Amino acid sequence: MAVPTFVDQVSLHVAAGRGGHGVASVHREKFKPLGGPDGGNGGPGGSIILRVDPDVTTLVDYHHSPKRKAENGGHGAGSHKNGAHAADLVLAVPDGTVVKDAKGNVLADLTGAGTEMVIAQGGRGGLGNAALASSKRKAPGFALLGEPGDEREIRLELKVVADIGLVGFPSAGKSSLIAAMSRARPKIADYPFTTLVPNLGVVTAGETTFTVADVPGLIEGASEGRGLGHDFLRHIERCAALVHVLDTATMEPGRNPAEDLDIIENELSRYGGLEDRPRLIALNKIDVPDGRDISDMVIDDLRERGLTVFPVSAASGEGMRDLTFAMAGIVARARAEKPVTEAKRIVLRPPSADGSDAFTVTETGEGWRVRGEKPERWIRQTDFSNDEAVGFLSDRLNKLGVEARLVQLGCQEGDTVLIGDPDNAVVFDFKPGIDAGAEMLGRRGEDQRFDEQRPAHGRRKAIQEALPDRAENETRADVARRLDKPETYGPKAYVVGSSNDPDWAENDPDA
């Protein structure tokens, strides 16, 4: 199987690193039983960055390895130790790379050495319980999870950054011209479609140095996919000028340079976007006797159209100097008119689900769907195995106004509420509540608003409420026994042998 060396289109799957989880930890030290929370934060995941590298001229590396993933962030630890920041993954791309999403929408056009784009943002690290502590929540028994990094399918398309583009029929001599003007050594042979990939050559004329590229396989119907021109026409979109290389010594019957020019111009017009480029005409192969005669026959007609024409011979070098300096003049003028651009950094920031920083609530057949950047981010950060973390999420959603909006729209207790993307939503049964407010006392990792799952909590609460009405000598244990077995101890407990014992009078020997 042949291994391609020039690849100008690839599909790439990129996945940024996940953020590290925060940790719930309590400071432990001798003689300091209440050391306080000291859980550290998780480190952010690595991002994936596309960076223009002048030394890279093809996308072949991504053709062989179409999946790239960045490192995950480190988890937090006790003693206020934060997780490590994951290193960013930098992908070098050629100058002139166009980045598109899976649907073909252009995300960025990367030109200029050093220009970079954050195509996938690394996930944020979760906060540890030390960062979550506040005046109302002094000892959180939970931490936030790290967020997953961005993951997407993108398409990279290379548009060669050349100053001059050579266009013409196969075997017109485009590769020979590049070889004659520069040190490039493209494949040259006497049959059509010898060149299968664009060739680049560096040319120096006076004080101007510029690059020249040819478009292989440009024939009639190329804009509709015939030949190879449809695949490579985009490589001349960035050229300052186009040079039509016309074959004056073709052996094909019915062809002449003027008609070849009209056919190629028609294909360029149908492709679009090249109407404003200056044109030069190179009548090639005048070293052949018939070629010089045909050149003399059509040169006046072409000049009457307002075109600049140069009879040249790539084989003998005749006319090459004039053509080269004409190219250099166009390039110099284009560079003088072009504004100076500095390398820039592009960060892809997709909009939130509803187009704002708030949220939307929509009634669907599955239930009430909540979408928004904040609610969905909070869902990703929550450890649903920890009741206290779920209570914290409830407080955040309540403070944002999600619960009030649901009630306003008619959501009833027990209705299904879905938060997040339809393909991966978190489902709740709606139960209106109140904000937790101050510090909630209880076991670490538990929330009193979920006490229906803890009978012991309800028993302790009942005992606490009955303590003010106990008898004079009744202990807490007596109250607990009375509440557990009212048929034995009656509505109010008593102490055997004491003054509140109903049998005390008749059993008293001194009575």
Partnered with residue 208 across adjacent β-strands are 205
* Residue owning tokens 């050559």: 201
Partnered with residue 363 across adjacent β-strands are 368
193 is in an annotated binding site: yes
194 is in an annotated binding site: yes
Residues 6 or more apart from 164 whose CB is under 8 A from it? Answer: 203, 210, 211, 212, 213, 239, 240, 241, 242, 243, 327, 330, 331
How many residues are given for the chain? 511
314 is in an annotated binding site: yes
Q: Output the pLDDT for position 483.
A: 78
SS3 content of the chain, % helix, strand, coil (to 5): 30, 20, 50
Q: Output the pLDDT for position 350.
A: 61
Query: Averaged in consecutive runs of 10 residues, what is the pLDDT profile of the chain (511 residues)?
Result: 62 95 90 84 95 85 91 94 95 90 89 89 94 86 93 89 83 82 61 57 85 74 55 76 86 78 84 83 86 86 89 87 90 81 68 61 87 90 89 88 88 87 84 56 57 58 80 80 68 47 46 41
Choose among 472, 469, 448, 471: nearest CA to 460.
Answer: 448
322 is in an annotated binding site: no
Tell me the pLDDT tens digit for each residue of 196-206: 567 777 888 88
Burial class (CB in 10 A: 0-12, 13-18, 19+), 133: middle
Q: Are 114 and 17 in contact (CB under 8 A)?
A: no
Q: Are 145 and 39 in contact (CB under 8 A)?
A: no
223 is in an annotated binding site: no
Distance of CA 429 to the CA centre of its chain: 33
Q: Which secondary structure element, helix H or strand E, spans residue 13, and what is its range?
A: strand 9-15
Half-sphere exposure (Cβ direction) of 52: Cα atoms closer than 13 Å? 24
What is residue 360's three-state secondary structure? strand
Task: Report which residue type is found at 193.
Answer: F
171 is in an annotated binding site: yes
Distance between CA atoms of residues 312 and 319, nearest Å: 4
What are the CA-CA distances from residue 201 to residues 175, 192, 206, 402 (Å)?
10, 21, 16, 62
91 is in an annotated binding site: no
45 is in an annotated binding site: no
285 is in an annotated binding site: yes
286 is in an annotated binding site: yes
384 is in an annotated binding site: no
Partnered with residue 319 across adjacent β-strands are none
174 is in an annotated binding site: yes
287 is in an annotated binding site: yes
248 is in an annotated binding site: no
Choose among 143, 125, 157, 155: nearest CA to 44.
Answer: 125
214 is in an annotated binding site: yes
Tell me the pLDDT tens digit for each residue of 245-297: 888 887 676 678 888 888 888 888 887 778 888 889 999 888 888 888 888 88
169 is in an annotated binding site: yes
Domains of the chain: 1-158 (2.70.210.12), 164-337 (3.40.50.300), 360-452 (3.30.300.350), 454-507 (no CATH)
How many angstroms separate the most distant Cα atoms in the chain? Answer: 152
For the chain, count helices (H), then strands (E): 14, 19
pTM above 0.75, yes or no: no
CA angle 306, 309, 313 (to 5 degrees): 170
Task: Report which residue type is found at 351.
Answer: P
Q: Output the pLDDT for position 443.
A: 57
Choose among 450, 376, 367: nearest CA to 411.
Answer: 367
